[in-house]
């Protein structure tokens, strides 16, 4: 198993607050660009939508990049850790099944940034959604299939 010298720091002292918005990033195991296959990216999107539809979160914006995902999410009545565990485990199962493989799909941990109460969420969403443009994947976000924002 590869050594991840800083992954333990992603969990140390973590606290999340129901009702708060978070910017979350999680990375595919060994940064494999598996979401270049947009079909696999749509399986992850389905899991993001499912936790939203189940009432666990309000999904405000997301973008799935070839080897990671960014998500702007507002928690409803639970902590971020079980939401992320649900997303990562369900998507691992569905994606591994789709490509007939097993084993780790995501790197351990994730990065999150709490958004202050009253802070405008739009700049965070704009930054998140500009990722495919900055990475040179498309010149117009409308041409990228793996993103969404609640107000667009």
Give pLDDT tens digits for 43-62. 999 999 999 999 999 999 99
**pLDDT band of 118, cuts 50, 70, 90:** confident
Query: In terms of pLDDT, which residue wins out, 3 or 137?
Result: 137
The CATH number, out of the four listed (3.40.50.300, 3.30.70.1290, 3.10.20.30, 3.30.1490.20), of the domain defined by the range 15-147: 3.30.70.1290
Burial class, 103, CB count within 10 angstroms (exposed 0-12 / middle 13-18 / buried 19+): exposed
> What confidence score (pLDDT) does residue 19 get?
85
pLDDT higher than threshold 90 for residue 131: yes
Give the span between the Cα atoms of 62 and 45, in whole angstroms. 9
Q: Which of 51, 35, 54, 56 is nearest to 87 (CA)?
A: 51
Q: Could you tell me what percent of the chain has a pLDDT over 90?
A: 82
End-to-end CA distance of the chain: 42
| Average pLDDT over every residue of 107-131 | 93
Q: Are 62 and 150 contacting, i.e. CB atoms less than 8 angstroms apart?
A: no
Give the span between the Cα atoms of 105 and 91, in whole angstroms. 9
Give the span between the Cα atoms of 142 and 139, in whole angstroms. 9
> What confidence score (pLDDT) does residue 17 get?
81
Give the span between the Cα atoms of 39 and 69, in whole angstroms. 15
> What confidence score (pLDDT) does residue 1 get?
41
> What confidence score (pLDDT) does residue 11 get?
46
φ, ψ at 21 (rounded to 5°): -90, 145
pLDDT (tens digit per residue) in 12-43: 445 678 789 999 999 999 999 999 999 999 99
């Amino acid at each position: 198993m590869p050594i991840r010298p800083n992954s333990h720091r992603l969990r140390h002292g973590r606290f999340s607050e129901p009702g708060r918005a978070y910017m979350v990033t999680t990375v595919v195991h060994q940064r494999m660009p598996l979401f270049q296959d947009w079909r696999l990216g749509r399986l992850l999107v389905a899991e993001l939508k499912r936790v939203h539809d189940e009432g666990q979160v309000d999904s405000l914006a997301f973008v799935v990049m070839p080897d990671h995902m960014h998500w702007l999410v507002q928690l409803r009545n639970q902590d971020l850790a079980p939401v992320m565990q649900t997303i990562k485990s369900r998507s691992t199962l569905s994606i591994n099944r789709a490509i007939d493989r097993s084993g780790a799909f995501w790197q351990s941990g994730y990065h999150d940034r709490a958004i202050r109460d009253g802070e405008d969420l739009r700049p965070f969403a704009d930054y998140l959604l500009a990722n495919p443009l900055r990475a040179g994947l498309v010149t117009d976000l409308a041409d990228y299939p793996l993103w969404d924002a609640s107000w667009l």
